[in-house]
Structure 1
Amino acid sequence: MATISLAEFLQQLISNPALLITVVLVLGVILVNGWTDAPNAIATCVSTRSLSPKKAIIMAAIFNFLGVFVMTMVSNAVAQTIYNMVDFGDNPKNALIALCAALFAIVVWATAAWAFGIPTSESHALIAGVTGAAIALQGGKGINGGEWIKVIYGLFMSSIMGFIIGYIVTKLIGFICKGMDHRKTSSFFRKAQVCGGAAMAFMHGAQDGQKFMGVFLLGVFLAKGQGNITNFEIPIWLMILCSVVMALGTSIGGYKIIKTVGMGMVKLNTYQGFSADIAAAISLYVASILGVPVSTTHTKTTAIMGVGASKRLSSVNWSVVKEMVAAWVLTFPGCGLLGIIMAYIFMSIFK
């Protein structure tokens, strides 16, 4: 099973400019994920004032790392799916150029979404951008249908599971706590929501961390001229690097997304915030065990929608929802097309 030690990686990084460019771009994508996707994990904690933004970001950083580390030790199926979903062909040099183009397209797309405060799916941007670049290089042969179909399953799974479980958990808690002292339950759920936010941050690391580590290793192996590797082991140093960069991104730009998801879409009580976190964490855990790469953004936001709908549909700010849905719908064709365009541009410049 292929892997790379930290010492070997640093040696390659110094001697191989192509690898250096690839690593910078991958880390840029992870950083953008930190400020666009990771804040979803802690949005409800902050919006219900269970934690301050600073403490929530520290908690997210710690549990993102634990999610990356622990779940990768259990199963790296999500990383394997992302790694094998496209085929860049037999020429490692051309493949690496196309991959760099895809990563550049993802950064541009995600940064634009962040500028408007829209929590677009970084996972789908990653999938779309890489797929677009592979199509530019290989045509229809650039897509591995067996792996790519898991992405389609994940798109529907993340949306449906998040909404349904959020609705059910909220109704169940409301039934159990009916007639209890409101002050006591609020105090309990304020503490419980910290645990829920930690669980959500853990599962964000488990899902998104693996996706980006899969792409990172794809770039490393292509830079080494090893385009035929299909099975790999993720080194611990890469887990740490991914977690640190993701946490840095959250600290830079997280509050804008927190405001949209945790405050703009639905006004949440503490028990509702807890319900949304638990619902999303359960959905992400199931997907991770099955090796299905799903969107943490979709899962968390649809869970919040389910929580709001459990009270009444008018509790959900549907104008905010429409903006997010529009961003989701546009991500696949938009970022995919951008990936194709950037691949052609990069190929004409660097080939």
Structure 2
Amino acid sequence: MFTLLVIIIVLAFVFDYINGFHDAANSIATIVSTKVLTPFQAVLWAAVFNFAAFFISKYLIGEFKIGNTIAKSVNENFITLEVIFAGLLAAITWNLITWWFGIPSSSSHTLLGGFMGAALAHAGGFSENGIDVVNYAKVIPTFLFIFFAPLLGMIIAFIITILIVHLCKRANPYKAESWFKKLQLVSSAAFSLGHGGNDAQKVMGIIGAAIIYYESTLGVQMSFNEFVVHYSWVPFCSFLAIGLGTMSGGWKIVKTMGTRITKVTPLEGVSAETAGAITLFLTEKLGIPVSTTHTITGSIIGVGATKRLSAVRWGVTVNLLWAWILTIPVSALMAALFYYIVKLFI
């Protein structure tokens, strides 16, 4: 059992690394498309702030609420190492498939879908002996924010863009663009902090669920907060892994996010990234795991809509929406299949 736990922890960090390069586009797409930074400079900038989010979550916010939500998304009666292992395999597989095709899907939702799908396969249904497999109090807000997070990002970006345009209407266009290029460094850093704080905690939650289960087999009962204290290297390594992943980049998705949804200027980049960062900080405070991909996509759409609705390439957006909707059920089905395969050997 200990060997399987070690494999799960290693796989979780692999997923975290993949999440980094899969979602690197979220925080650097606009800053690359507006030529504020070169691709290499941009991924380095984003990676530093991905990792820096660890210190904000630990010392400023003082807790890891999103990790706790993920760890408790499945009722503890139905969590086993095999369940977590199968869920991780499904999440990694779906992330690599969507990365290969350049689809900016949600790493957080594929992780959640995989975890739930494997648990449902383990229980043989949605409940057992009157106990729900899925912890709906934790999961329902996450489902709702599949739609609310991009909508919130879109509304905030729309408002910020209108305000900036109104305030700067008398400004010299050349000087204004120069200022907004500098401000993009700040807004992309803020979004990278939100990305790191949100997404690294999801892996923490999975590792936490595995370690808490393993400790329970040894007769040790441990809460998530106790896990964070006793295994302090897990949060640190989770944020480090996502930062290293971001440094690897994700150029196919950069192209989709930076140019295919709508053309983005430095002003609009600042608006989109600021709106995305505000949304991510808010949801982290509430302990709701959201998709950084969905959030920045909604923000970019909100920016594009200020010009005219036709400025947004809705065909691309509809395709993205389908990917978002399908992520959780497809991941859940894949995880269930992986669970049955794993049980043949373990």
> Same fold by TM-score, threshold 0.5 exceeded?
yes
Map Cα deviations across residues 99-119 of structure 1 (whole Å, 9 max, x no partner).
100000001111000000111
Aligned match of 1:76: 64
Task: Establish whether residue 270 from structure 1 lines up as the match of residue 258 from structure 2.
Answer: no
1-structure distance, mates of 2:248, 2:81: 29
Q: Which moved more, 1:266-275 or 1:255-264?
A: 255-264
Counterpart-to-counterpart distance in 2, 1:146 and 1:190? 42
| Rounded Cα–Cα distance in structure 2 between residues aligned with 1:247 and 1:264 | 26
The residue number in structure 2 matching 1:166 is: 157
Equivalent residue number for residue 51 of structure 1: 37
How far off its partner does 1:169 sit?
A: 0.7
Aligned position for 1:147: 138
Deviation at 1:32, TM superposition (A): 1.4
Task: State whether structure 2 residue 121 is matched by structure 1 residue 136.
Answer: yes
RMSD across aligned C-alpha pairs, in angstroms?
Answer: 1.8
Q: Does 1:120 align with 2:105?
A: yes
Correspondences of 1:96-111 after superposition (within 5 Å): 96-111=81-96
Residue 87 (structure 1) aligned with residue 75 (structure 2) = yes
User: What's the TM-score, normalizing by structure 2?
Assistant: 0.91
Q: Is the 8 A contact 2:23 2:104 kept in 1?
A: yes
Q: 1:231 to 1:248 in 2, by over 3 A?
A: closer
Helix, strand or coil: the match of 1:38? helix
Q: C-alpha separation between the residues in 1 aligned to 2:54 and 2:252?
A: 24
2:188 maps to a residue whose letter is G
C-alpha displacement at 1:228, in angstroms? 5.2
Tell which deviates more after alignment, 220-229 or 262-271. 220-229
1:176 maps onto 2:167 in alignment: yes
Deviating beyond 6 angstroms after TM superposition, the runs of 4 or more aligned structure 1 residues are none
Residue correspondence of structure 1 range 1-351 to structure 2 within 5 A: 16-73=2-59, 74=61, 75-89=63-77, 95-138=80-123, 139-140=125-126, 141-224=132-215, 225=217, 229-233=222-226, 234=228, 235-350=231-346
**C-alpha distance in 2 between matches for 1:258 and 1:51:** 13
Give the TM-score normalised by structure 1.
0.90
- Contact conserved, 2:29 with 2:257, CA < 8 A, in 1? yes
Identity, in percent, stands at: 37
8 Å CA contact retained: 2:212, 2:223: no
Q: How many residues align structurally? A: 333
Matched to 1:113, the amino acid is: T
Which whole-Å CA distance do the structure 2 matches of 1:236 and 1:61 have between them? 21
1:4 aligns with none
Deviation per CA, 1:244-267: give whole Å up to 9, x if none: 321232233422211110122110
Indicate how the Cα distance of structure 1 residues 85 and 230 shifts in structure 2: closer, same or farther if over 3 A, else same. Answer: farther
Asked whether the 8 Å contact 2:19–2:245 carries over to 1, the reply is yes
Q: Which letter does structure 1 place at the counterpart of 2:18?
A: V
Q: Secondary structure of 2:250's match? A: helix
**Could you say what secondary structure the match of 2:199 adopts?**
helix
Cα distance between partner residues in 2 of 1:221 and 1:231: 8
Partners of 2:44 and 2:236 lie apart in 1 by 15
Whether the aligned pair in 1 keeps the contact of 2:113 and 2:332 (CA below 8 Å) is yes
In structure 2, what is the Cα distance between the partners aligned to 1:68 and 1:276?
23
What SS does the corresponding residue of 1:232 show, helix, strand or coil?
A: helix
Segment drifting more, 54-63 vs 242-251: 242-251
Residues 183-202 of structure 1, C-alpha deviations (whole Å, 9 max, x = no match): 00000000000100000000
> Which runs of 5 or more structure 2 residues have no equivalent in the other structure?
127-131
**How far has the Cα of 1:86 moved from its partner?**
0.3
